[in-house]
Structure 1
Amino acid sequence: MFDSRYVKTFYEVVRTGSFSAAARSLGYTQPAVSQQMKALERDVGTPLFTRVGRGIRLTEAGEALRRHSASILDSLTAAQEQIDAISRLRSGRVRVCAFPSAGATLLPKAMARVAAEHPGIRVELLESEPPESLQLVARGNCDITLAFSYPGQHTEVPEELEEIPLMEDPLTVLLPTGHPLARRRGVRLADLAHERWIAGCVRCRTNFLHACAEEGFTPDIACTTDDNLVMQSLVAAGVGIAMVPALVLSFLCHKNVTGRIVEPHTRRRIYAYALRDHLRIPATALVLDRLSEVAASKSGC
């Protein structure tokens, strides 16, 4: 491999026809040009020039490099321009992996802010739940992942990841609007011990069962679904009630469903994760900043 600076000098020597002319064009001394060409010949492992009187002539290897030198320099220029665009936030791509309720609430507003400030930055959405989503970012399949944990739950975080706390998300109960307890501001789980329930994802279900056990009952789970819209429809139809994070209330789609805070207050914590080295990438840092702003506006933290 050879130094691109030498290729630029070589290109000028060929274009101008001599070392001295290339030196004048580039603002170098002639000895400097001669030294660079000798270094280039060492790099390529063969002579590029032969002396003809006071002039120079390209060898066969020199002719081969001449044919490619312009495209090499064009490619390097294009690469530098692209790198400059990325570093100056004129372009770039950030892949964000989010669990459904964050993908429906935090991410859209963050994406909108990024698009308004830096239209060249492309934010792509992937969906996955923790702990699988943590492995995606650790393997480089995404740049940022959003994940959550409940009190008492341990999440194995790969050591190469940086954890950025975003917000606390209170837990609520989804009730049909005609439910007797829907008129209260808060509801104790113990008051709902006789109800049928709709359970959520594995992590949410584990936390739900633990919370019910602390209140002294085992819930009657009618069915389980990871889909928030399906869960809302089941509650609206009277199939059961559900315990969900407050973020879900931001996209309630049924007028016959209402959410009430769980008492005593229980919260899950939401985090963003990224590879530590990627925190220095301007586009990744920008998206993390906007996610933090949106999360703070929702939680007040």
Structure 2
Amino acid sequence: MFDSRHIKTFHQVVTSGSYSAAARVLGYTQPAVTQQMKALERTAGVPLFTRAGRGLRLTEAGEALARHARTILTSLDAAQQQLGALARLRAGRVRVCGFPSANATLIPEAMASLLADHPGVRVELTEAEPPESVQRLLRGECDVALAFSYQGAVPPVADELVEIPLLEDRLTVLLPVGHPLARRHAVRLTDLTEERWIAGCPRCRANLLQICADEGYAPDVVFTTDDNLAVQSLVAAGVGIALMPSLVLAFMCHQKVTGRLVEPHQFRRVSAYVLREHMRVPATAVVVEELRRAAAARAGC
């Protein structure tokens, strides 16, 4: 395998026309250049130069290598520049997989700040509910995964992952405007025993069943959908009520529905997950930091 240093020296010998001229340009001694060219010829297995009087002439093999040398050096220079840009956060690609309400709230806020401070970093966004978002991370299909977990149902974190807690997303009960309980600031779960319910994704449905069971009853789930807009429309139509995270209500709210805090206090924990070894990748680390800032700003609202 060719040594890139030898290729650089060879290219300079060809350009300068002699070992001594190349040595002056590169800051080497002439014997050092001679030794490098001998080493390059040993690697190539054929002579690269012949003497023509006091000058040098390329052999056929030397001419072939000379044609490739510039391309090789240009590629190496481009690679060094790209790696330097990545290290200095001037460039980089980060693949993020998040769940719908995070993609509609935290991601836009974080990306706006990211583009202002690091315009060379590019983010590719995909969508999946947990635990699928974390599974995609483990399969190498994304670099950062956003996921949530409910109280009492926190999944274990794989050893190769780092969890970065972002915020506690409070749960609200979604009621149709005009519902008798809509006049209250907060609603107790025990006041909702006779209501019909609309459930969300499997993890959200499981949480609804569990917290109602903790209050001593089984909710009457008449409809299930993970479409947040459909949930609000169903509530507005009087089909049932729903338990909705605050992040969802932050970006869309049907005019005929209203949200009220739930008592006892209920929330889901929203976190970012990254492969432990990828925390050292500058572009990934800065995306995580921007997500932290966006979450902190939202929590302070």
The TM-score bracket by the shorter chain reads: over 0.9
Partner of 2:229: 229
What secondary structure does 1:265 align onto? coil
Q: Does structure 1 residue 181 correspond to structure 2 residue 184? A: no
Contact 1:131 1:155 in 2 (8 A): no
Which region of structure 1 is more displaced relative to structure 2, 131-140 or 53-62? 53-62
Amino acid at match of 2:291: L
CA distance in 1, matches of 2:46, 2:141: 43
Find the aligned partners of 1:163 and 1:37 in 2 and give their Cα distance: 53
Partner of 1:134: 134
Using the size of structure 2 for normalisation, the TM-score is 0.95
Deviation at 1:154, TM superposition (A): 4.1
Question: Which amino acid is 2:125 matched to?
Answer: L
- Aligned partner of 1:172 in structure 2 is 172
Secondary structure at the aligned position of 1:167 is classed as: strand
Structure 2 counterpart of 1:275: 275
8 Å CA contact 1:185–1:260 kept in 2: the answer is yes
Tell me the secondary structure at the aligned position of residue 255 of structure 2.
Answer: coil
What is the match of residue 116 of structure 2? Answer: 116
Asked whether the equivalents of residues 196 and 239 of structure 1 are also in contact (C-alpha less than 8 Å), the reply is yes
How far, CA to CA, are the matches of 2:64 and 2:288 in structure 1?
Answer: 48
Moved more, 287-296 or 158-167: 158-167
User: Which residue does the alignment assign to 2:147?
Assistant: 147
Aligned to 2:23: 23
Q: Tell me the amino acid that sits aligned with residue 14 of structure 2.
A: V
Distance (Å, rounded) in 2 between the aligned partners of 1:190 and 1:42: 85
Provide, for residues 80-116 of structure 1, a one-character-per-residue CA deviation record: whole Å limited to 9, x for no partner: 2222222222222111100011111111100111111
Partner of residue 83, structure 2 = 83
CA distance in 2 between counterparts of 1:48 and 1:186 reads 85
Which one-letter code corresponds to 1:4 in the other structure? Answer: S
3-state secondary structure, aligned to 1:203: helix
Inter-partner Cα distance in structure 2 for 1:30 and 1:63: 22
Shift of 1:300: 4.1
1:196 Cα offset (Å): 0.6
Whole-Å separation in 1 of the counterparts to 2:44 and 2:135: 43
Which amino acid is 1:26 matched to? L
C-alpha displacement at 1:26, in angstroms?
A: 1.1
Segments of 5+ residues of structure 2 without an aligned counterpart are none
C-alpha contact 1:94 1:284 (8 A) present in aligned 2: yes
Tell me, yes or no, if the aligned pair for 1:165 and 1:270 is still in contact at 8 Å.
yes
Percent of aligned pairs sharing the same letter:
67
Structure 1: unaligned runs, 5 residues or longer: none
Deviates more, 1:199-208 or 1:90-99: 90-99
Shift of 1:33: 0.9
User: How far apart in 1 are the matches of 2:263 and 2:39?
Assistant: 76
Q: RMSD between aligned alpha carbons? A: 1.6
Q: State the TM-score, normalized to the length of structure 1.
A: 0.95
Q: Is the counterpart of residue 60 in structure 1 residue 60 in structure 2?
A: yes
State the AA in 1 paired with 2:3. Answer: D
The residue number in structure 1 matching 2:284 is: 284
Equivalent residues in 2 for 1:202-217, closer than 5 Å:
202-217=202-217
**Number of matched pairs:** 301
1:287, CA displacement in angstroms? 0.8
Q: Deviations over 1:180-206 (max 9, x none)?
A: 111111111110111111100011111
Change (3 A) 1:300 1:42: farther
